Amino acid sequence: MALFASVKQLEIIGEAANNVTKQFKKIYSEIEWRKIIGLRNLLVNEYFGINKEIIWGIIKKDIPKLHVEVKKILEQL
Protein backbone atom coordinates (compact mmCIF):
# COMPACT_ATOMS: atom_id res chain seq x y z
CA MET A 1 0.00 0.00 0.00
CA ALA A 2 2.88 2.38 0.74
CA LEU A 3 4.13 1.92 -2.82
CA PHE A 4 0.79 2.99 -4.28
CA ALA A 5 0.62 6.03 -2.02
CA SER A 6 4.19 6.96 -2.91
CA VAL A 7 3.51 6.62 -6.63
CA LYS A 8 0.45 8.84 -6.29
CA GLN A 9 2.49 11.52 -4.50
CA LEU A 10 5.15 11.38 -7.25
CA GLU A 11 2.38 11.79 -9.82
CA ILE A 12 1.11 14.86 -7.97
CA ILE A 13 4.62 16.35 -7.84
CA GLY A 14 4.96 15.75 -11.58
CA GLU A 15 1.59 17.30 -12.31
CA ALA A 16 2.49 20.36 -10.26
CA ALA A 17 5.82 20.66 -12.10
CA ASN A 18 3.98 20.43 -15.40
CA ASN A 19 1.88 23.46 -14.41
CA VAL A 20 4.85 25.67 -13.55
CA THR A 21 5.40 28.44 -16.09
CA LYS A 22 8.29 28.28 -18.55
CA GLN A 23 9.66 31.51 -17.09
CA PHE A 24 9.69 30.05 -13.57
CA LYS A 25 11.41 26.89 -14.84
CA LYS A 26 14.02 29.03 -16.56
CA ILE A 27 14.71 31.05 -13.41
CA TYR A 28 14.97 27.89 -11.29
CA SER A 29 16.74 25.72 -13.83
CA GLU A 30 18.62 23.78 -11.14
CA ILE A 31 15.47 21.70 -10.72
CA GLU A 32 15.19 18.88 -13.25
CA TRP A 33 11.72 19.82 -14.42
CA ARG A 34 11.72 17.54 -17.48
CA LYS A 35 12.71 14.50 -15.44
CA ILE A 36 10.02 15.20 -12.86
CA ILE A 37 7.36 15.59 -15.55
CA GLY A 38 8.70 12.57 -17.43
CA LEU A 39 8.44 10.43 -14.31
CA ARG A 40 4.86 11.56 -13.82
CA ASN A 41 4.03 10.58 -17.39
CA LEU A 42 5.70 7.21 -16.96
CA LEU A 43 3.86 6.49 -13.72
CA VAL A 44 0.49 7.43 -15.18
CA ASN A 45 0.91 5.53 -18.44
CA GLU A 46 2.94 2.49 -17.38
CA TYR A 47 1.39 1.84 -14.00
CA PHE A 48 1.71 -1.97 -14.08
CA GLY A 49 5.33 -1.78 -15.24
CA ILE A 50 6.54 0.28 -12.28
CA ASN A 51 9.75 -0.98 -10.69
CA LYS A 52 9.43 -0.54 -6.95
CA GLU A 53 13.21 -0.43 -6.43
CA ILE A 54 13.45 2.53 -8.80
CA ILE A 55 10.58 4.28 -7.03
CA TRP A 56 12.18 3.77 -3.61
CA GLY A 57 15.48 5.02 -5.02
CA ILE A 58 13.79 8.19 -6.23
CA ILE A 59 12.13 8.66 -2.86
CA LYS A 60 15.37 8.13 -0.94
CA LYS A 61 17.76 10.01 -3.25
CA ASP A 62 15.93 12.53 -5.42
CA ILE A 63 13.00 13.71 -3.31
CA PRO A 64 15.20 14.98 -0.45
CA LYS A 65 17.24 17.02 -2.97
CA LEU A 66 14.06 18.38 -4.52
CA HIS A 67 12.75 19.27 -1.07
CA VAL A 68 15.87 21.33 -0.35
CA GLU A 69 15.59 23.16 -3.68
CA VAL A 70 11.90 23.91 -3.20
CA LYS A 71 12.55 25.25 0.30
CA LYS A 72 15.20 27.60 -1.15
CA ILE A 73 12.74 28.82 -3.76
CA LEU A 74 10.03 29.43 -1.17
CA GLU A 75 12.45 31.44 0.95
CA GLN A 76 13.16 33.68 -2.05
CA LEU A 77 9.51 34.35 -2.86
Could you please report the per-residue DSSP string of the chain? -HHHHHHHHHHHHHHHHHTS-HHHHHHTTTS-HHHHHHHHHHHHH-GGG--HHHHHHIIIIIHHHHHHHHHHHHHH-
> Which residues belong to the active site?
40
